[in-house]
Amino acid sequence: MNENKKYCILTYGCQMNVHESEKLAGFLQERGYTETQEQNQADVIVFNTCCIRKSAEEKILGNIGAVKPIKKKNPNLIVAVCGCMSQQTDMADYIQKTFPFVNIIFGTHNLNKFGNFLDEYEQTHKKIKDIEQQVIVDENVPMYRTSGYNGWVNIMYGCNNFCTYCIVPYVRGREVSRRPQDIIDEVESLLKTGKYKIITLLGQNVNSYGKDLGGDITFAKLLKQIAELPYEFKIKFMTSHPKDLTDDVIDVIAENDKISKTIHLPVQSGSNAILKKMNRNYTVEHYLNVIDKIKSKIPNVSLTSDFIVGFPSETQEDFEATCNLVKRVGYNGIFAFMYSPRPGTPAAQMQDQIPLDEKNKRVNALLAIEKQISHQKTNEMIGNIENCIVDKVLDDGNYLVKTDSGKTIIVGNAILEPYSFVNIKIDKLIDNQLYGTVVN
Ligand code: SAH
Ligand code: SF4
Ligand code: F3S
């Protein structure tokens, strides 16, 4: 019905949103639309938004504003805004007022109604703004997957943790786990196609998977059940919370070749005073204890983390404690963010907000420390043999392969099957690029 019509989806924020854009695309494909990267060519433009930091919101508002001249040239263009940013009712009102050319506004909880919204708008040409407050788990949402050999699979929605800086619990609602059988069926349907080699399980806090289901299913059991599926593939997952990462999960990871040995364990700060104000519910000592357990049970583990610097009242000593933690753990990579006050969150009301230039100095200092450490970690990989996935053939006939932790290695003198797993010996590091050869 919509032959020759095209859509363009702009996705901001985390992997959850990347995957939800695959669901938005599913509704559009179902209606005959095809994908374009060019907003000028599109009949439907969708902004799938993020509000984790103010800078994200500002960028998105600028990009929505930039659609105005496109809409002027093509008055039939449908513009939709959805996701975490528009889930905030004040922000949805603001978008409607500031950008009258936006036709459809909805939030995170009613993404499953996107198809209805499109149909309704096409029939009536009346603007739609519909923000739902309840988390709805809908197993019948179409999907048009666009992440190559990686299949994203939601295992749960929402977050109950209310870290004092974070807006996610307000825009994603309380934790709701999907039923284990629904998850396993979805994973199996992906693996059966032979196209998907990495399955990434998604949730804001995957370690509390199942707690709301009342039975005896846990994240460790779910991981184990998925790892038992008889296909060649790897399982990744994000995100883990240090207060909930239990020994049984560490053991399952250690015991299963199919489970990735890369663990993202956001700590946010190395100061107990700040962790307490953040409502993270663990101490630095507890975190290090978990890290040490992981390292002893999974010797080849690759660890990554998130940090927030310049949280209200963070002193120079607090910040130095964070730097020391980074050195002590020896991460393979980190993300470091300047604290951004979010409307409605407790930390936004706290005294002693840190000036922007100080936050900027601290974030750069932390990243400089990590740069040295991760360079050293990469250097230490030389001589290792790693099981990698063949990511693509390069123009010069060499291959790009990816390690378990996502590092790229260039491999020549071989004929490799794209998206297969191969063992690679890492030979050298030149200008930050690893080179290797196939071993049998
Ligand atoms: N559920 C995940 C991801 C949360 S958002 C988790 O708990 O780890 C990803 C990262 O954004 C967080 O780990 C945190 O480091 C950062 N973040 C969240 N709120 C922020 C804020 N208000 N300002 C700056 N960074 C923030
Ligand atoms: Fe935000 Fe904390 Fe929940 Fe992560 S665990 S989404 S940081 S409230
Ligand atoms: Fe952003 Fe929402 Fe993810 S706020 S980080 S897109 S859960």
pLDDT band at 19 (very low <50, low <70, confident <90, very high): very high
Q: 264: Cβ below 6 Å to ligand 2?
A: no
For the CA of 55, the nearest ligand: 1
Q: What is the pLDDT of residue 370?
A: 96
Q: Tell me the CA–centroid distance for residue 36 and ligand 3, in Å.
A: 24
pLDDT band at 129 (very low <50, low <70, confident <90, very high): very high
Work out the average pLDDT over 11-20: 98
For the CA of 169, the nearest ligand: 2
Q: Whose CA is nearest to atom 3 of ligand 3?
A: 14
111/220 same-domain check: no
Q: What is the pLDDT of residue 1?
A: 63
Q: Which atom of ligand 2 is nearest to the CA of 172?
A: 6
Q: Tell me the CA–centroid distance for residue 289 and ligand 3, in Å.
A: 29
For residue 20, what is the domain's CATH number?
3.40.50.12160
Residue 267 lies in a domain: no
Token pair listed for 157: 């929605």
State residue 201 phi and psi, 5-degree precision: -85, 130
Q: 207: Cβ below 6 Å to ligand 2?
A: no
Q: Tell me the CA–centroid distance for residue 391 and ligand 3, in Å.
A: 27
- Residue among 12, 17, 172 whose CB has most ligand 3 atoms within 8 A, to mutate: 17
pLDDT tens, residue by residue, 62-100: 999 999 999 999 999 999 999 999 999 999 999 999 999
Q: Is the pLDDT of residue 364 over 80?
A: yes
Q: 346: Cβ below 6 Å to ligand 2?
A: no
Q: Tell me the CA–centroid distance for residue 45 and ligand 1, in Å.
A: 27
Q: What is the pLDDT of residue 2?
A: 72
Domains held by the chain: number: 4
Q: What is the pLDDT of residue 136?
A: 84
Q: Out of 349, 380, 411, pick the residue that ends a domain.
A: 380
Q: What is the pLDDT of residue 178?
A: 96
103/164 same-domain check: no
Q: 337: Cβ below 6 Å to ligand 1?
A: yes
For residue 188, what is the domain's CATH number?
3.30.750.210
Residue 331 lies in a domain: yes
Q: Which atom of ligand 3 is nearest to the CA of 172?
A: 7
Q: What is the pLDDT of residue 200?
A: 98
3-state secondary structure the chain: CCCCCEEEEEECCCHHHHHHHHHHHHHHHHCCCEECCCHHHCCEEEEEECCCCHHHHHHHHHHHHCCHHHHHHCCCCEEEEEEHHHHCHHHHHHHHHHCCCCCEEECCCCHHHHHHHHHHHHHHCCCEEECCCCCCCCCCCCCCCCCCCEEEEECEECCCCCCCCCCHHHHHCCCEECCHHHHHHHHHHHHHCCCCCEEEEECCCHHHCCCCCCCCCCHHHHHHHHHCCCCCCEEEEECCCCCCCCHHHHHHHHHCCCECCEEECCCECCCHHHHHHCCCCCCHHHHHHHHHHHHHHCCCCEEEEEEEECCCCCCHHHHHHHHHHHHHHCCCEEEEEECCCCCCCHHHHCCCCCCHHHHHHHHHHHHHHHHHHHHHHHHHCCCCEEEEEEEEECCCCCEEEECCCCCEEEECCCCCCCCCEEEEEEEEEECCEEEEEEEC
Q: Is the pLDDT of residue 374 over 80?
A: yes
For the CA of 48, the nearest ligand: 3
- Residue among 168, 207, 274 whose CB has most ligand 2 atoms within 8 A, to mutate: 168
For residue 410, what is the domain's CATH number?
2.40.50.140
Q: What is the pLDDT of residue 266?
A: 98
Residue 75 lies in a domain: yes
* Cis, bond preceding 239 (omega within 30 deg of 0): yes
| Domain span including residue 406 | 385-438
Q: Tell me the CA–centroid distance for residue 158 and ligand 2, in Å.
A: 9
Q: 172: Cβ below 6 Å to ligand 1?
A: no
208/245 same-domain check: yes
Q: 308: Cβ below 6 Å to ligand 1?
A: yes
125/88 same-domain check: yes
10/99 same-domain check: yes
Residue 418 lies in a domain: yes
Work out the average pLDDT over 118-135: 96
Q: Tell me the CA–centroid distance for residue 124 and ligand 1, in Å.
A: 40
Work out the average pLDDT over 396-409: 96
Residue 140 lies in a domain: no
161/252 same-domain check: yes
Q: What is the pLDDT of residue 312?
A: 98
pLDDT tens, residue by residue, 332-360: 999 999 999 999 999 999 999 999 999 99
Query: What percent of the chain lies above the pLDDT cut of 90?
Result: 97
- Residue ranges around ligand 3 (CB below 6 Å): 13-14, 16-17, 50-52, 84, 168, 171-172
Q: Which atom of ligand 3 is nearest to the CA of 85?
A: 4
Q: 323: Cβ below 6 Å to ligand 1?
A: no
Work out the average pLDDT over 252-279: 98
CA 107 to chain centre: 18
Of 130-139, 172-181, 384-393, 400-409, the least confident: 130-139
Q: 169: Cβ below 6 Å to ligand 2?
A: yes
pLDDT band at 3 (very low <50, low <70, confident <90, very high): confident
Residue 88 lies in a domain: yes
